[in-house]
Structures are given as structure tokens and as C-alpha cells.
Amino acid sequence: MDLLNTLVDKGLRRELPTREEALAVLATSDDELLDVVAAAGQVRRQWFGRRVKLNYLVNLKSGLCPEDCSYCSQRLGSKADILKYTWLKPDEASKAAAAGVAGGAKRVCLVASGRGPTDRDIARVSETIEAIKEQNEGVEVCACLGLLAEGQAERLRAAGADAYNHNLNTSEATYGDITSTHTYQDRVDTVTKAHGAGLSACSGLIAGMGESDADLVDVVFALRELDPDSVPVNFLIPFEGTPLAKEWNLTPQRCLRILAMTRFVCPDVEVRLAGGREVHLRSMQPLALHLVNSIFLGDYLTSEGQAGQADLDMIADAGFEVEGAGTTTLPRHRADALAASGCGTSPTGCGSHEDGACGSHEGGGCGPCGGHAAPEAPEQVPADQARTDLVSVRRRGAGTDLAPNA
């Protein structure tokens, strides 16, 4: 297939595909799907081998957000029956983070709902970062706190943060359709602030909100222009009680094509399979490992993922290996450029937030060992019916007395 040969050649040279080529990937047929995965897999292996980086989410405070992001279970007016709690104390957050590190996570992503942090919040998160770093040698920490004001990224960097996550989520043209309380440009500005402060920038998207192929290509090309080190790809988790509860329009095949397109456009970047993978990819998750080089371990912010051990078994059974703490995630040319910019000792990206602040959307955290198994394939769903059977609200881990899923 000439298209795929061209895209592989470009990916191996870090050359940007054309918009037409990116759109053509999304338009391929199911009969061509394995060819698409194999082609994108060549690019993935060139820059990341067969390593899979594990990331772990800690939801520092849950719910009670003043923003109105339609996809988010923590949004203003949300009727989703999620956990709601205010800020975890630094020792509580550090204990939660340690569970993820013990499970193999290399990076801990600290997420807080809200428009953006106050200076007091920055001080609180800084204490948390210091506690995690002190108790977990070599761990990377990514903060995901919403829109940043001037000087806040620098303060997080000084506290030891390695990265900052803030997702673009969708194309600029359609951003106003999902959120009215802040703008697309607000998000771009926050990613730019993080980059400028020497933090590794992490920014991604949410697919499955009713967007077109052109919207998906637009947001991935915009991300390429911003040049984050990490691009989390989330698939909408349609929480009952949110405006997008009935948006069930993704198939496993569609998800794989979106991941492949992202890899072709961002060949040497950490592409993370984030919120919604269990719900939408289901038994096809192992194929996605040929496209991405990073996943979240265990649960998400307000929803449960599959058992942490099931994640590890999936990686091993598919012939991949968990990336060790002593291994640099990014290819050498990106790692060197990041080090020269003054970023931390662990150059990679982050990702997961429901209000779009962090890399694993879900609404999309952290979280007794075991968890629930990956959901079975959904039945045909009436247009006016939410799928409460496929979305399991997190009831363990951070903010609860139950052990997290790691």
C-alpha cells in the first residue's frame, strides 16, 4: 500500500505527513487495519523499541470543578455519581503514589480538578512533589492542575516537577462546542508556559466526542506544532450524568486508526494510550501496544481501569517489556534537546485529566488490587440510552480507605 510505505518512510525520518495522508489513515477500511497497525508499528519500534512506559494517576482532589467541559464527570453541574473530596495531604498523596511505583510505574501524574491552581495550591502541590520524590527515588512527577498563571510553572519546576500536562482535547474549530468557560487558546498558552519554564510538556486529545476526521487531524497537527514530549490519546468515557453520556460512536478499529494516525504525525514522541482504552478497545488493547509506547497503570481519575496485574500480563503476553526507571523514554535527539532547555533529569511527558488538564481524560486516575476485568463488547445501544454497564466509577484508591489498583 503506497500510502503506508510513504508514511513509514516519513516516520523513520521524523518528517511530517500531509493532512491528506493523515486523513487517509483514518479512512482506511477494516480489511486494511492490520496493515496500518504493522506500518505504524515500524515507526514506533524505530524510536521506542518494544518498551512500554507505565504511568500512575493520583487524583489530588475530585469533583467540584467550576468549568463546564462536556466530557468531564467532575464538571460544573455534573450528576455523575463520582467520588468527591478536597485536597489530599502530601503524605496521603505520597502513599497513593508509592502503590503505583511499586506496581512498576515510572511516572506519577498528580491531577487536581479546577480551572487552575491558586498560589496556595501551588505551595500545597509543591510539598506533595517533594514528599513523593523523597520517598520514591528516581520517580518522575507530572503535575496536571489546569490553567497556569505567570510564574506558577517555574514554582512547580523548582519543587521538582518533571512535567506538566494540559490537553488541547479537540480542534480549535470545535472547542467552543464542548467548553464555554475557557478557550482553546487558554490551553495553548498553558502548554507554552510549561515549556518555557523548562518542564517537559505533555498535551493530548480526547476522541469520540462526535468530532470529524478533520477535527482529529487538526488537533494532532496542532499538537505537533506545540511539540510536547508526550501526547496522551484519550477515548471518551461517556459518564451518565454528563452531556456526552450517549456518545457511543467509537469501535476498536476506529480507535486503532486514530492511534496510528497520531503515531505517524508524532513519530518520535511518547504517545500514551490513556483514558477509555478498556471501554473502547476491549480485547483489542494488545494491538494498541504496537502503536503507543506508554499507558496508565490501573485506575483513572474517577473511573476504574482493568486490574493492574492484567495490564502487566498484557504487556508481557504481547511481547513488550516495561520500561525501567533507569531508561530514558525519549529518543536521544529529543532527550538531549530537552536537557539543553533546562528540563529535569527525566525527559518524558505526562497525561490524564478529565477536565482536560491531564493526560488520561476520562471525565479521566489512580487507584484493592485486582480491579474489574476489561468490559465485554457492548451490545447495540439505543440512541437515547447511556451505557452504565461499561463505565465503572472509581470507589478505591485516593480519597477512600480502600487500597488502590496497581
Specify the DSSP class assigned to residue 390: T
105 pLDDT higher than 80: yes
Q: What is the pLDDT of residue 353?
A: 40
Q: What is the mean pLDDT of residues 60-70?
A: 87
178-224 pLDDT, tens digit each: 999 999 999 999 999 999 999 999 999 999 999 999 999 999 999 99
Look at the block and give the residue holding cell 533507569: 326
Q: What is the mean pLDDT of residues 78-82?
A: 73
Q: What is the pLDDT of residue 83?
A: 77
Report if residue 292 sits inside a domain: yes
Closest CA to 212 of 28, 23, 4: 23
55 pLDDT higher than 60: yes
76 pLDDT higher than 90: no
Question: What burial class does residue 222 get, using C-beta atoms within 10 Å of its C-beta: 0-12 exposed, 13-18 middle, 19+ buried?
Answer: middle
**Segment among 325-334, 353-362, 367-376 with least mean pLDDT:** 367-376
Ramachandran region of residue 145, left (φ > 0), alpha (ψ -120 to 50) or beta?
alpha
- Per-residue confidence at 167, pLDDT binned at 50, 70, 90? very high
Alpha helices in 136-200, H assignment, sequence order:
152-159, 175-178, 184-196
- Supply φ then ψ for residue 102, to 5 degrees: -65, -30
Q: Which of the residues are catalytic?
A: 65, 69, 72, 109, 142, 202, 272
- Supply φ then ψ for residue 230, to 5 degrees: -135, 135
Among residues of the chain, what percentage have pLDDT more than 90?
A: 67
For residues 204 and 263, what is the distance between their CA atoms, to the nearest angstrom?
12
113-128 pLDDT, tens digit each: 889 999 999 999 999 9
* Number of other CB atoms surrounding residue 276 within 10 Å: 28
* Number of other CB atoms surrounding residue 286 within 10 Å: 14
Q: What is the mean pLDDT of residues 269-296?
A: 96
Question: What burial class does residue 240 get, using C-beta atoms within 10 Å of its C-beta: 0-12 exposed, 13-18 middle, 19+ buried?
Answer: middle
Parallel, antiparallel or unpaired: strands 230-235 and 107-112: unpaired
Report if residue 161 sits inside a domain: yes
Among residues of the chain, what percentage have pLDDT more than 70?
A: 88
Report if residue 236 sits inside a domain: yes
Maximum distance among all Cα pairs of the chain, rounded to whole angstroms: 56
Report if residue 384 sits inside a domain: no
Q: What is the pLDDT of residue 268?
A: 97
Report if residue 12 sits inside a domain: no
Tally the domains of the chain. Answer: 1
385 pLDDT higher than 70: no
Q: What is the mean pLDDT of residues 244-269?
A: 96
- Supply φ then ψ for residue 54, to 5 degrees: -100, 135
Mean model confidence pLDDT for the chain: 87
Q: What is the mean pLDDT of residues 243-271?
A: 96
Q: What is the mean pLDDT of residues 39-49?
A: 98
Q: Is 217 helix (H, G, I), strand (E, B) or coil?
A: helix
Report if residue 31 sits inside a domain: no
Q: What is the mean pLDDT of residues 311-334?
A: 93
More confident residue, 402 or 315: 315
More confident residue, 393 or 60: 60
346 pLDDT higher than 50: no
288 pLDDT higher than 60: yes
CATH number, domain containing residue 271: 3.20.20.70
Closest CA to 282 of 390, 392, 396: 390
Is 241 in contact with 276 (CB distance < 8 Å)? no
- Which residue type does 325 have? A
Give the structural domain span for 312: 42-340
- Which residue type does 248 have? W
Report if residue 49 sits inside a domain: yes
Report if residue 70 sits inside a domain: yes
- Per-residue confidence at 59, pLDDT binned at 50, 70, 90? very high
